[in-house]
Amino acid sequence: MTQASPRTLVERYALPPAEIETLSLERVSAALAAVGRWPDPEAEIVRRVVYAAGDPTLAPLIRFHPEAVAAGVMALRAGRAIVVDVRMVEVALDYQRIARLGCPVHCQIDAREVREEAARLSLPRAAVAVRALVDAVTDGVVVIGNAPTALLSLLDLVDAGRARPALVVGMPVGFVAAAESKAELARRAVPFITIEGTRGGSAVAAAACNALLRLAVDGWQPQDARGEGGRSRDR
């Protein structure tokens, strides 16, 4: 009797891409039901961030400025720039939807002039890269998922009156200045989405931006929001 060949790991566990996403989001929604409730459309952003992180315990740490979702969606629909701190965020963005909206994407972390200026000033490249994109930052969506110094540099520009982003997705990760930079962001009047503490990262920052892109393309309107006066609300 011929013994059947054992199934490969791919045959045992893999699913078609669409089924993977559907099943993953179903499981995320079930997990989130145990840790909290969020009004639409924040709930979709929380869901996508948790999906990207693979960690439902991240959800209670996500914070929204009351005008964050509306400001971000309107900026994206207007074709405003998306400014990112590092290439890891840049490559994870939803370029199909970005193309439909006509938003330019900017990342200067590898620019020669940024490297030279950072060396001259003895500053991290991420901090200098944000300064180099100050014109694109104004009225744009800034997505920071890696470098706390990028967020601190951005907030210095805001405090100096040199830049006014439509939205800051501020989710840098790390044990040096990450929690502090996000706490400073939450104290500003500029619309923001952030994660308290040391956690974050390029994947979750890109996921939050991609959720906003999905809302912008799918036709969500600020008056569709639930909660206080139809506005998003901080948790």
The enclosing H or E element of 209 equals helix 202-218
pLDDT, position 173: 96
Confidence of residue 4 (pLDDT cuts 50, 70, 90): low
3-state class (DSSP) for residue 192: strand
CA-CA-CA-CA torsion sign (13, 18, 24, 30): negative
CATH C-level class of 54-230:
alpha beta
Strand order in 167-170's β-sheet? Answer: 62-64, 192-195, 167-170, 141-144, 82-84, 105-106
Domain extents in the chain:
54-230
Q: Give the pTM.
A: 0.88
Average pLDDT rounded to a whole number, residues 110-120: 96
Measure the CA–CA gap between 159 and 136, rounded to whole angstroms.
17
Q: Quick check: 47 and 25 in contact, CB under 8 A?
A: yes
Position of tokens 């620019």?
A: 111
* Percent of residues, the chain, with pLDDT higher than 70: 93
